[in-house]
A and B are shown apart, each in its own frame.
Chain A
Amino acid sequence: MERSLPVWVLAALALVLLMALPLGWLGYVSLGGEDGATLAHYRQVFTDGALRQALWNTVVLAFWVGLASLAIGAPMAWLAARTDLPGPRLIRGLILASFVTPPFLGAFAWVMLAGPNAGLLNKLYRSLTGAEGPLLNVFGMPGLIFVVTIYTFPYVFIMIANTLELIPSDVEEAAAMLGASRLRVALSVTLPMVLPAILSGFILAVLQALALFGSPAILALPAGFHTVTTQIWALFQYPPKVEMAAAFSVPLLLATALLLTLQKRLLGRRGYAAIGGKGGRRRRIPLGPWRLPALAACLGVLACSIFLPYAILAKAAFARAWAQPLTADNLTLANVAFTFQQGSTRSAILNTLELGVLTACVGAGLAALLAYVINRKLIPGHQALAFLTLAPVAIPGVVLAVALFVTYTRPPLLLYGSLTILFIAYLTKELPVGYAQSDATFKGVHPELEEAGRILGAGRLRVLGEITAPLARSGIIATWCFVFIGVIRELSASIILFTPNTKVISVVIFDLKEEGEFGAIAVLGLFMLLMTFAAVLVVQTLLGRDFVGGKE
């Protein structure tokens, strides 16, 4: 018997507790009645017209976001991966920036850009054309779909670009030599090979849209409609209907689980040996006269997700009135002073940093441990463990929060009101991301080095500490940063779990939004972006070196 076995078993048990306990309570509460189990809450949820409408709105939103993300992400992935598009690194860098921008900040920026009357783009449009109506209206379903899409398409992009880069060109060339037209090659050779990636990118985008809270709260509520997430949050209003919130969470949970299973199937039966990793040249297709228009199109999309929103946030942060031109007497540092002098902002920044660092440390450690155990098949049932580690992907933040709320507001574990409950939420939410990253890391560390250590008489833990960990170090630090970025932007779970002492930056931003304090929101938003990009920079540097090192 392996001496280190208890360590692995303990880690596995912690995981089960982390996952199974809240979901168990969620189910229990949703069925809870005065006298025994009842389906009354479910009946209420599905017969209430307003709740059904929210459910339908979410379906509409998710579907169109999925489709629109595909329409933007797929061509961009193809351009970046397979053509001689100018500035591919710049494009990828900007897509990464869209990927890490908190969607609720983007939504907030777009209120200032495309509010039908005061929005700056609409003002510009009206002054240029003399038109009466607005060019864009960000409040409402189309606006919501647009804003969510520009921060969701990177999921599709990454999925498809990665696949395209693995397909060698020779298959396509063979088809071309056999006389197939370009279109035919694309449709009958390339497309089938990337189809799983396309579908699974679509599903990822849909999942994102289903789980979002901030963007619908900022763009849908003013237009007078709810999505499932905002509705669940509204059910906590006094007098709270926690049972109904729990019951209303279950369809969302089932939908995400279903979609994820579907995605796994799609990726699982890849079946085309061509996409096998190494080998094969990839030739870039010359775009010819289309090079610049293609670049312009890509930059146009990125202007929507990065340039315009960041510019308007910067303006709002340093202007007295964001809707007025930025003249000398409209410039001010008062917003900055006001934001940071406020007591609740300061403690929120500290809370966010504390939670970010703590979750990143524990998360990266746990993810590394689990990835190691699973990769090296150290305990029986390691596959089940892998499933459990990845399972939280299927739990939208709001649902996780409801589950944690009902679990930890009652004895024996009274954690509501402490940072611990937020820590648990973040850890659960970020574990899949961390695991995926660590898994890739450990796959890159060959077991034979460890075996050498074992043969020389070192125990498994010593080998882990002295051989594996140093080799996996930059991968683990990258995991740390991914988790950190995920934590500092988290809103959908925090908004239900916070108490005044445990506010985080995203919650303060949301509070300020409800009061219409645009300047302060912009200041805090930029601060949050600064922290995010600092973390991104660390990842880039580390992994960049890794790539170079690997090729030598």
Chain B
Amino acid sequence: MRAARPAACSSVPLVLALSVALAAAPALAQDVRVEAARKEGKVVWYTSLALSSAERVAKLFEAAYPGITVEVQRTGSERILQRVMQELQANLRLVDVIHTSDAGHFVLLKEKKHLLRYTPAGADALAPGFKDRDGYYYGLRATVNVIAYNTKIVTAAEAPKTWKDLLDPKWKGRLVTAHPGYSGVIATHVLALAQLHGWDYWKQLAQNRVMLVQSAVDPAGVVASGERPVAVDGGDYTFYQTKKKGNPVEIVYPKEGVPLVVSPTAIAAWAPHPNAAKLFTDFTFSRELQQVLADSEGLYTGHPEVRYPADKPRLSDLKLLQIDPEELQKRNEEIKKRFVEFFGA
């Protein structure tokens, strides 16, 4: 097909760079690993990374390791957990690599002994918030929840500056939120703001008749189309990408602080393709791939050498609201329940 996505074309030099970088690793051991992975033929990746981004990562891996395909199964974090548990209950072992944006999931999966203890190459150097102390899961990427608005409908002066500004009745019928029953980014966000401003914040926000969408990716599209001019949450990288494509979207980093969402990745204890899973996991933590996540996706990472686009704020310049994964796990059901209670569905 003619209209290949521009990213696919520009990825050729990158793949070369990646292969060179990987070839630099101790050659023999690497060959054995790749051969074992190639025999397995594929790796099944349950991921909550936005579909186009996940497809891009998969294509890069497939180009670097011909003969091993990545089966991308993209859905929301909470749906991924549901799928994994539902499949386990029916004795199905389908998934190799699990990647969601709800760190609490990994506490749960580790506790239930569903994870393989594996330290990806180079993961030791990751920033502190990106590592499980027992070595079962590592943060592949991070994003922060932000407010975003449509610049054609809302002026910069009018735009909400803080989370609490969103409670103003003038926004009634003009807001959109994603759903903690679907998205781990949002589940984290709901808890973070409940800790910051109390559950009353959410109760009041619901009074503004907020449109409910599912994925944390979706508010960006809703705001860009103008269906609702202001998003009350959503990962900053999705708004960043939407803005980069020329849509009239502007991002606000509220002063009270922005909830940081670190999205871990881990290999299933029973992974049907364990070698391919390890190879893939290593690949995703390579400096080159982490740099791709930062450049073309606008994500943050835990990799110390990654450089960020000039038009994105540094994580260190933001006031971050941190959530303890164990707390998130414990209160998972409560978060969803309260949200549904306030917003109706």
- Point out residues on A near B: beta carbons under 8 Å: 50, 115-119, 139, 220-226, 230, 234, 236-240, 320-323, 332-334, 336-338, 340-344, 409-410, 414, 416-417, 499-501, 511-512, 514-518
Q: In the complex, what distance in Å separates the CA atom of A416 from the CA atom of B78?
A: 20
Q: Which residues of A contact B224 (CB under 8 A)?
A: 321, 323
Beta-carbon contact of B86 and A225 below 8 Å: no
The residues of B that contact A501 with a CB separation of less than 8 Å are: 94
The answer to whether B3 and A336 touch across the interface, beta carbons within 8 angstroms, is yes
Interface string of B98-132 (1 = CB under 8 A from A): 00000000000000000000000000000000000
Which of B2, B69, B76, B215 is the one whose CB lies under 8 Å from A343? Answer: B69
On chain A, the residues within 8 Å of B92 by CB distance are 416-417, 499
- Report the Cα distance A511→B221, complex, angstroms: 15
CB distance from A205 to the nearest CB of B (A): 24
Q: How far is the CB of B238 from chain A (nearest CB, A)?
A: 9
Bound-state Cα–Cα, A499 to B73, Å = 10
Partner of A515, one of B85, B217, B227, B332: B217
Are A511 and B75 neighbours in the complex by a CB distance under 8 Å? yes
Give the chain B neighbours of A223 by CB distance below 8 A: 211-212, 344-345
Q: Give Cα distance in the complex from A506 to B16, angstroms.
A: 38
Contact of B3 with A516 in the complex, beta carbons under 8 Å: no
Chain B contacts of A321 at CB under 8 A?
Answer: 224-225, 247
Do the beta carbons of B71 and A343 come within 8 Å of each other?
Answer: yes
**Which A residue sits closest to B4, measured CB to CB?**
A337
Determine which residue in B3, B81, B173 has the highest number of CB atoms from chain A within 10 A of its CB, and name it.
Answer: B3
Distance in Å: Cβ of A502 to nearest Cβ of chain B: 10
- A sample of 22 inter-chain contacts (CB < 8 A) reads A115-B227, A116-B173, A116-B227, A117-B227, A118-B222, A230-B345, A234-B181, A238-B332, A239-B85, A321-B225, A322-B225, A338-B5, A342-B51, A342-B72, A410-B90, A499-B94, A500-B83, A511-B75, A512-B51, A514-B75, A516-B215, A517-B51
| Cα separation A237 to B344 with both chains bound (whole Å) | 16
Contact indicator A240/B85 (Cβ below 8 Å): yes
**Given A225-B344, A240-B82, A500-B73, A323:B90 Cβ within 8 A:** no
B-chain residues with CB within 8 Å of residue A417 when the two chains form the complex: 87, 90, 92, 94
* B50 within 8 Å of A (CB atoms): yes
Q: A224-B212, A225-B345 are in contact. Are A118 and B225 (CB under 8 A)?
A: yes
Q: Which residues of A contact B217 (CB under 8 A)?
A: 515-516
Residue with the highest number of chain A CB atoms closer than 10 Å, among B210, B212, B333: B212
**With an 8 A cutoff between CB atoms, is B182 at the interface?**
yes
B341 shortest CB reach to chain A, Å: 7
List 8 tightest A-B contacts by C-beta distance, closest first: A224-B344, A516-B218, A333-B3, A118-B227, A516-B221, A514-B214, A118-B225, A323-B225
Partner of B215, one of A344, A414, A515: A515
A234 to B332, CA, bound (A): 15
B1 contacts chain A at the CB level, 8 A cutoff? yes
Point out the residue from B82, B212, B343 that lies within 8 Å of A238, measured CB to CB: B82
| Cα–Cα distance between A322 and B225 once the two chains are bound (Å) | 8
Asked if B14 lies at the interface with its beta carbon under 8 angstroms from chain A, I say no
Residues of the A chain whose Cβ atoms lie less than 8 Å from the Cβ of B218: 514-516
Nearest CB of chain A from residue B248's CB, rounded to whole Å: 11
Q: B213 an interface residue at 8 Å Cβ cutoff?
A: yes
Inside 8 A of B214's CB, which chain A residues have their CB?
Answer: 221, 514-515
Q: Which residues of A contact B173 (CB under 8 A)?
A: 116
Smallest beta-carbon distance B181→chain A, Å: 6
Complex formed: what's the CA distance from A337 to B9 in Å?
14
Contact B222–A516 (Cβ < 8 Å): yes
Contacts of B212 in A (CB 8 A): 221-224
CA distance A417 to B94 in the complex (A): 9
Cα distance A236–B90 in the bound complex, in angstroms: 14
Chain A residues with CB below 8 A from B70, complex form:
343
Closest residue of chain B to A513, judged by CB?
Answer: B214
Q: Which residues on B sit within 8 Å (CB–CB) of A341?
A: 1, 55
Q: Check if A343 sits within 8 Å of B50, measured CB to CB.
A: no
Query: Given A337-B4, A344-B72 in contact, is the A220-B90 Cβ separation under 8 Å?
Result: no
Q: How far is the CA of A333 from the CA of B4 in the complex (A)?
A: 9
The answer to whether B292 has its CB under 8 Å from any CB of chain A is: no
Number of chain B residues close to chain A: CB under 8 A = 65
Residues on B with C-beta less than 8 A from A139 are 211
- Chain B residues positioned under 8 Å from A50 (CB to CB): 340-341
Contact A240 B86 (CB under 8 A): yes
B residues less than 8 Å from A414 (CB atoms): 90-91
Q: Is B141 an interface residue (CB 8 A)?
A: no
CA–CA, A234 to B55, complex, Å? 28
Give the distance in Å from the alpha carbon of A83 to the alpha carbon of B215 in the complex: 51
Could you say which residues of chain B place their CB within 8 Å of the CB of A342?
Answer: 51, 55, 72
- Taking CB atoms, residues of chain B closer than 8 Å to A410 are 90
Measured between alpha carbons, how far is A101 from B81 in the docked complex, in Å? 33
Is the beta-carbon distance between A334 and B5 smaller than 8 angstroms? yes
| Chain A contacts for B4, CB-based, 8 A | 337
Q: Which residue of the partner chain B has the closest CB to A234? A: B181
Q: Which residues of A contact B83 (CB under 8 A)?
A: 499-500
Known: A414-B91, A516-B215. A500 touches B46 (CB 8 A): yes
**Which A residues touch B79, using CB under 8 A?**
237
Closest to B210 in A: A224
A222/B85 in contact, CB under 8 A: no
A238, A240, A409, A511: which contacts B74 (Cβ < 8 A)? A511
Q: Which residues in B have their C-beta under 8 angstroms from that of A511? A: 74-75
**Known contacts A323-B226, A338-B52, A499-B83: A222-B211 contact under CB 8 Å:** yes
Instruction: A339 to B92: give the CA distance in the assembly, Å.
Output: 28
B73 touches A344 (CB 8 A): yes
Q: B89 at interface (Cβ–Cβ under 8 A)?
A: yes
From B215, which residue of chain A is reached at the shortest CB distance? A515
Query: Is B279 close to A, CB under 8 A?
Result: no
Chain B: which residue is nearest A418 at the CB level? B92
Distance to closest chain B CB from A297 (angstroms): 30
Given contact pairs A139-B211, A337-B3, A117 touches B228 in the complex (Cβ within 8 A):
yes
What is the distance, in angstroms, from A532's C-beta to the closest C-beta of chain B?
Answer: 24
**Is B336 an interface residue when CB atoms closer than 8 A count as contact?**
yes
Does B277 make an interface contact (CB < 8 A)? no
New A-B contacts (7) at CB < 8 Å, excluding given A338-B55, A516-B220 = A117-B229, A222-B212, A237-B181, A333-B2, A500-B44, A501-B94, A516-B217
Is B5 within 8 A of A500, CB to CB? no
Q: Residue on A with the closest CB to B153?
A: A117
Judge whether A226 and B345 touch: CB under 8 Å: yes
Contact B1 A224 (CB under 8 A): no
Q: Give the residues in chain B near A514, CB-CB below 8 Å.
A: 75-76, 182, 213-215, 218
Choose from B86, B182, B229, B343 the contact partner of A236 (Cβ within 8 Å).
B86
Inter-chain contacts of A518 with B (CB < 8 A): 221
Chain A residue contacts of B74, Cβ below 8 A: 344, 511, 515
A334 to B52, CA, bound (A): 12
A332 to B70, CA, bound (A): 27
Contact A515 B51 (CB under 8 A): yes
Query: Known contacts being A117-B227, A118-B225, is A220 close to B345, with CB within 8 Å?
Result: yes
Taking a contact as CB atoms under 8 Å apart, the answer to whether A238 and B81 are in contact is: yes
Q: Which residue of B lies closest to A514 (CB)?
A: B214
Is A515 touching B50 in the complex (CB atoms < 8 A)? yes
Question: In the bound complex, how far is the Cα of B340 from the Cα of A115, in angstroms?
Answer: 23
Contacts of A320 in B (CB 8 A): 245
B210: chain A residues within 8 A (beta carbon): 224
